[in-house]
Chain A
Amino acid sequence: MSDQSFRISAGDALTAEKITEAGEKPTEAVADYALRLGDDALILAQRLGWWIARAPELEEDVALANIALDQLGHARSFLSYAALAWGRTEDDLAYFRTEPEFVNVQLVEQPNGDFAHTIARQFIVSYYQFELYRRLVDSSDATLAAIAAKAVKEVDYHRDHATQWVLRLALGTEESRRRMIAGLGVMWPYVDELFRDDELVVSLGEAAVLPSSLREDFDTMTGAVRAEAELEHPATDGLRGFVARGGGRDGIHTEFLGPLLAEMQVLARAHPEATW
């Protein structure tokens, strides 16, 4: 457990460098948990980065880039913290782990698809992350609490951004509505995995947040947006309506993560030890 005297307040600019500098080693279990949250943010950031220079409008290019950079910041903090437990660095964890060593949820590795697919994925992730970080600020682990305090404000904005677009696409043209429904249909099967408890989170007690405890608020909040957007529950839209088996937390991934990692890691692996 972290020493309570070391508590980075939300007012301080918490950076990955500061976490490394502080050198407050997490327990093995806390490190495993931080790695999960870091991987979620890292893979999502990598996905969103693809949109840069490809978004439907210049302004949206900037918005998606901002969200990607926020997520990358969260990833760096979580990975830097986890790395301390194993005498490694954030770069080691990001660039020199193989696919089965990644423990992100399968949702974040799903392809960008069209703009509506990306918004659907973002809608789910941002509501999930908001509920998670909102509670993680009370973690008994000081560093996790500090990372969450900084992240929750940013994720609140991501949530707003996704909400605005779900409403506009769903209530826009016939074509935009069709695409929004299709996007939600493709992403929704991966929702259940976000809220599954397992041995690790249960063993962490006050340090972590039980995923299952977030479900009710997630359903209420996203349900309210869907109602406003006049959208049926995705599973009842006559779309695929299945639930993915999940397994991301155990290193089991969909076919989409391998190529993403190949692209993300190629430079670092070609030039190990390089700095720039």
Chain B
Amino acid sequence: MSSPGADETEPWPLWEVFVRSSRGLSHLHAGSLHAPDAEMAVRNARDLYTRRNEGVSIWVVRSSDITASDPDAKGAFFESPRGKEYRHAGYYTESEGVKHL
């Protein structure tokens, strides 16, 4: 395998950057960048996304490793739960004779 950027046809791959700020609870997607490898991606992310916010944790993931939901399938995929109350326990009334439920 030749190294990324070895020639015109092989540019640096794209990476997605997730940053947890010093007082943040979870990593949030901050943006993306190009880097030849994961190590450099972390360093580039530090330069691009954390300059004014010290004490952070950075995750980088190769964009090609991310599987995303299909935007075209939004209708079926993220259908509203409205009208589906029967899915929740609170929908049902307690049956007689069942103790300690």
Whether a CB of chain A sits under 8 angstroms from the CB of B39 is yes
Chain B residues lying within 8 Å of A161, measured Cβ to Cβ, are 43
CB atoms of A63 and B43 under 8 A apart:
yes
**Tally of contact residues, B, Cβ under 8 A:** 17
A59-B33, A59-B35 known; A172 vs B3 contact (CB < 8 Å): yes
Q: Which residue of B lies closest to A168 (CB)?
A: B36
A58 part of interface (Cβ distance < 8 Å): yes
Which residues of chain B are near A160, meaning CB under 8 Å? 43
Interface pair A164/B12, CB less than 8 Å apart:
no
Instruction: Kindly report which residue of chain A lies nearest to residue B36, judged by CB atoms.
Output: A168
Q: Which residue of A lies closest to B33 (CB)?
A: A59
1/0 per position for A29-67, CB-CB distance to B under 8 A? Answer: 000000000000000000000000000011100110010
Q: Is the CB of B3 within 8 A of A173?
A: yes
Expressed in whole angstroms, the Cα–Cα distance for A172 and B39 within the complex equals 15
A173 and B51 CA atoms in complex are apart in Å by: 32
Question: 15 A–B contact pairs at CB < 8 A?
Answer: A57-B5, A57-B34, A58-B34, A59-B40, A59-B48, A62-B44, A62-B47, A63-B44, A63-B47, A168-B3, A168-B36, A172-B3, A172-B6, A173-B3, A173-B6
Q: Does B2 contact A (CB under 8 A)?
A: yes
From B37, which residue of chain A is reached at the shortest CB distance?
A168
Residues of chain B having any CB pair with chain A under 8 Å: 2-3, 5-6, 12, 33-37, 39-40, 43-44, 47-48, 51
Using C-beta atoms within 8 Å of the partner chain, give the interface range for chain A.
Answer: 10 to 19
**In the complex, which residue of chain A has the Cβ closest to the Cβ of B46?**
A157
Once the chains bind, are B2 and A173 in contact (CB under 8 Å)? yes
**Set B33, B34, B40, B47: member contacting A66, Cβ < 8 A:** B47
In the bound complex, residues from chain B placing their C-beta under 8 Å from that of A62 are: 44, 47-48
If A57-B34, A164-B39, A172-B3 are given as contacts, then 5 extra A-B residue pairs at C-beta distance below 8 Å, sorted by A number, are A59-B34, A59-B35, A59-B40, A63-B44, A172-B6
The chain B residue sitting closest to A172, CB to CB, is B3
Cα–Cα, bound, A59→B51 (Å) = 14
A154-180 to B contact mask, C-beta < 8 Å, 1/0: 000000110010001000110000000
B40 touches A164 (CB 8 A): yes
Q: B12 contacts which of A57, A63, A66 (Cβ < 8 Å)?
A: A57
Shortest CB-to-CB span from A170 to chain B, Å, is 12
Enumerate chain B residues within 8 angstroms of A172, measured Cβ to Cβ.
3, 6
Q: Which residue of chain B is the closest to A175 with respect to CB atoms? A: B6
B47 to chain A: which residues have CB within 8 Å? 59, 62-63, 66
Residues 136-166 of chain A, each 1 if its beta carbon lies under 8 Å from chain B, else 0: 0000000000000000000000001100100
Q: Mark A55-91, 1 if CB is under 8 A from B, else 0.
A: 0011100110010000000000000000000000000
Q: How far is the CB of A237 from chain B (nearest CB, A)?
A: 22
A66 to B3, CA, bound (A): 26
Q: How many whole Å from A168's CB to the nearest CB in chain B? A: 6
Q: How far is the CB of A123 from chain B (nearest CB, A)?
A: 15
User: What residues of chain A lie closer than 8 Å to B40, measured between beta carbons?
Assistant: 59, 164, 168
Instruction: Pick the contact of B43: A57, A58, A164, A173 (CB < 8 A).
Output: A164
Residues of A contacting B37 with CB < 8 Å?
168
CA distance A161 to B35 in the complex (A): 13
Interface pairs A-B: 5 shortest CB-CB = A59-B44, A62-B47, A63-B47, A172-B3, A173-B6
Complex Cα distance, B35 from A58, in Å, reads 10
